[in-house]
């Protein structure tokens, strides 16, 4: 158990729908990062939040949004889902706000299947 909790573990939904993925960071970590992993694209950074504020943005589609709440848990909202959104979505957390690389702890991921 890495200490980063992601729910749900699996999600199957239809095209056009909206889903919310949840992440609770490791105790003491202030930063949350969201990554998308598909077979042919490796790990793609989506967005980072630090202590409730958006800190960095990667290749996140306009149909996707995220937020970090006062208790530091984060949610990734995916809307108007397309077949190509099927992927593993990982959350990672770290103590620091700047993307320093070390101290990244990943959750076990949410596998999203869009049918």
Binding site for other proteins (CB under 8 A): 2, 4, 41-45, 56, 58-59, 90, 92, 98-102, 104, 106-109
User: In terms of CB distance, is 59 or 80 closer to other proteins?
Assistant: 59
* Minimum distance from residue 115 beta carbon to other proteins (Å): 20
Helix (H, G, I), strand (E, B) or coil at 43: strand
* Minimum distance from residue 39 beta carbon to other proteins (Å): 10
CB-CB neighbours of 112 under 10 Å: 21
Distance (Å, rounded) from C-alpha 54 to C-alpha 41?
A: 24
Provide the 8-state DSSP code for 100: -
* Minimum distance from residue 71 beta carbon to other proteins (Å): 21
* Minimum distance from residue 16 beta carbon to other proteins (Å): 26
User: In terms of CB distance, is 42 or 70 closer to other proteins?
Assistant: 42
Output the DSSP codes for 52-92. TEEEEE-S--TTEEEEE-TTS-EEEEE-S--GGG-EEEEEE
Phi-psi region of 42 (alpha: psi -120 to 50; beta: other; left: phi over 0): left
User: In terms of CB distance, is 14 or 27 closer to other proteins?
Assistant: 27
User: In terms of CB distance, is 16 or 28 closer to other proteins?
Assistant: 28
């Amino acid at each position: 158990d890495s200490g980063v909790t992601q729910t749900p573990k699996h999600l199957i939904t239809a095209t056009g729908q909206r889903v919310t993925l949840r992440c609770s960071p490791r105790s003491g970590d202030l930063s949350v990062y969201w990554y998308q992993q598909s077979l042919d694209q490796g790990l793609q950074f989506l967005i980072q939040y630090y202590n409730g504020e958006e800190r960095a943005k990667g290749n996140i589609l306009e149909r996707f949004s995220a937020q970090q709440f006062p208790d530091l848990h984060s949610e990734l909202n995916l809307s108007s889902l397309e077949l190509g959104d099927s992927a593993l979505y990982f959350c990672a957390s770290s103590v620091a706000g700047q993307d320093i690389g070390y101290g990244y702890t990943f959750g076990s991921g949410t596998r999203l299947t869009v049918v």
